[in-house]
Amino acid sequence: MAYENILTVGHQDGLQSLRLTKGGYCCEDNRLAISIETENTNDDGWPPVALFCIYNHPLDRDPCAGDVFECNGGMFAEDADDADVTHAAAYFTFHAEEVYVQFTVIEVRQDTLVVDFRAKHDDTAYYDAQAKECPTSGTFVLSRQPLKNLWIPL
């Protein structure tokens, strides 16, 4: 099965496609982190980039097919400064105030995960009454990485 590593942002002004430029996962100290970094396939597309992550998720084993890792978060999450809880974040030239992320493991290969990604987040273009939540999705092949190589906005 071919995986495209394409993120689709469902914006009210039209779908935007962004390709994976960097991503991965890390299992370390009984915690899991997953991140994806994408850029728009259209030079004039908006947003030009979309970055998502979930981090500090408790996990005392390697991920398995069928595992679902999800979290509500964002820049203004009540527990944003709590080092003991799971966090989610997104960035689109601005840090998302609110974001929900879900990574579902579809397949496990040696040091590689195939994940289905779903998210809901702030509007990427409007900040007033015109703003609407954006559903976002994609399927990605992600390799095991050191935590320092993942996008984690600490």
Who has greater pLDDT, 69 or 9? 69
pTM of the model: 0.90
Cα 151 from Cα 142, distance rounded (Å): 13
* 6-52 tens-digit pLDDT: 999 887 777 889 999 999 999 999 999 999 999 999 999 888 999 99
- What's the confidence (pLDDT) of residue 2? 54
Determine the residue type at 4: E
How far, in Å, CA of 119 to CA of 102, rounded?
6
108-136 average pLDDT score? 83
pLDDT at 125: 61
Residue 90's Cβ-side half-sphere holds a number of Cα atoms within 13 Å equal to 27
Q: What is the mean pLDDT of residues 129-133?
A: 73
Domain 6-149: CATH class, spelled out:
mainly beta
Domain positions in the chain are 6-149
Alpha-carbon separation of residue 23 from 8, 47, 56 (angstroms): 16, 18, 16
